[in-house]
Amino acid sequence: MPRYFLEVAYKGTNYSGFQVQENANSIQAEVENALHLFFRNPIELTGSSRTDTGVHALQNFFHFDYDKSIERKFLYNINSILPGDIVVKNVYEVNETDNCRFAAISREYHYTIYHSKNPFLQEFGWFYPYQMNIELLHQAAKVLLEYQNFQSFSKRNTQVTNFNCQLLESYWTIENDRIVYHVKGNRFLRGMVRGLVGTMVRVGRRLISIEQFHQIIQSQDCTQADFTTPAQGLFLVQVNYPAGLLLKKL
């Protein structure tokens, strides 16, 4: 049976995360409902990267199997059914064994912090009107590239067999009144990016030293990290697949 990857983007403000949940609306539930209405058959989706309540995505993926041909013009109809804060951007035909979660080789996230009150960033960043030392933030971001075990930045009750992640990029940029954390890795743990940002902010405010930051990572104790970072500043920016996997765009 043909398999398809569905590329989506969404504003996560009004949703209780990416994956289907009982008694809560999700991105997956809305997309499955739209596909069901259009194809007149229930469609079961498998998601690539779970995002939490209030987190946004410029790119994420589902895959599904469907025994009839799908044309690109169907996207217009499906997007007409979806709410305005979710869009299906592209559909790709792939091999029947390709899995959008396990085939991904890396994922990229951005986290935005802004210092001056701005109503246009209220749902897309963390308003943090405190001075931070940017050089210390840069140092903390570099420190993360030295490690692979990120248990200290994984929320409890996470169903994983290990806490090892390979970070490929970790750095901050300054964009006008905003500072943005960029991180790319082969995998991420539950709550990891927000835990990294919250703890690095403590470094930037000189509440903890770089040496203490090392100690938090090495402790492998999530109670030492700061997970209070709000969700709305976090964006899943890109999910990367091996070259050629997404070659057949409809």
With beta carbons less than 8 A apart as the criterion, state whether 13 and 77 touch.
no
167-175 and 178-185: which strand pairing?
Answer: antiparallel
Active site annotation includes 177: no
Q: What is the CA radius of gyration of the chain?
A: 19
Residues in the chain: 250
Q: Alpha-carbon distance 102 to 209, whole Å?
A: 37
- Tell me the sheet residues that pair with 91: 6
- Neighbouring CB atoms inside 10 A of 162's CB total 10
C-alpha distances in angstroms, 55 versus 11, 37, 49, 124?
Answer: 7, 26, 12, 9
Residue tagged active-site, from 52, 65, 98, 177: 52
Report the distance separating Cα 169 and Cα 90, nearest Å: 27
**Which residues are known to be catalytic?**
52
